[in-house]
Amino acid sequence: MHLIQLFLPLRDGQCQPFDRAHFARVRTELTEAFGGVTAYQRSPAVGLWEAPDGEVERDDVVLFEVMADQLDHAWWTRYRKELAARFVQDEVMVRACPCERL
């Protein structure tokens, strides 16, 4: 079993908030593909990272999680790239961790 987490920005590069429909679409897509999704949207997390020029960049992000028996790397690579284009990002962070249902 795998826990897959997606970190999506709340705002675009001009600090304009994304329409709620962007996030609703992701919820629908993940629910249809994996039978459910958990979205942490009320309290955004703060993502910080060092850019190539040494400056620290910041994004307020929301977290989406799904669980999957199998990890389809090709599907997730395509979906991650699609989300990066939709959310106008160089990259969207998607990570997977092995997990055990208790």
* pLDDT tens sequence across 56-72: 777 788 999 999 999 99
Domains identified in the chain, total number:
1
Q: What percent of the chain has pLDDT over 70?
A: 98
pLDDT at 52: 83
Nearest CA among 7, 11, 28, 31 for reference residue 19: 11
Strands, sheet with 38-50, edge to edge from the N-terminal-most edge strand: 38-50, 56-68, 2-9, 93-98
pLDDT at 43: 66
Token pair 């997606």 in the structure block, residue: 6
Q: What is the CATH number of the domain that holds 66?
A: 3.30.70.120
CA distance 23 to 8: 9
The chain-wide mean pLDDT, for the chain, equals 89
Task: Tell me the whole-structure pTM to 2 decimals.
Answer: 0.83
Asked if residue 77 has pLDDT above 90, the reply is yes
Segments forming the whole domain that contains residue 52 = 2-98
What are the residues facing 61 on neighbouring strands?
9, 45
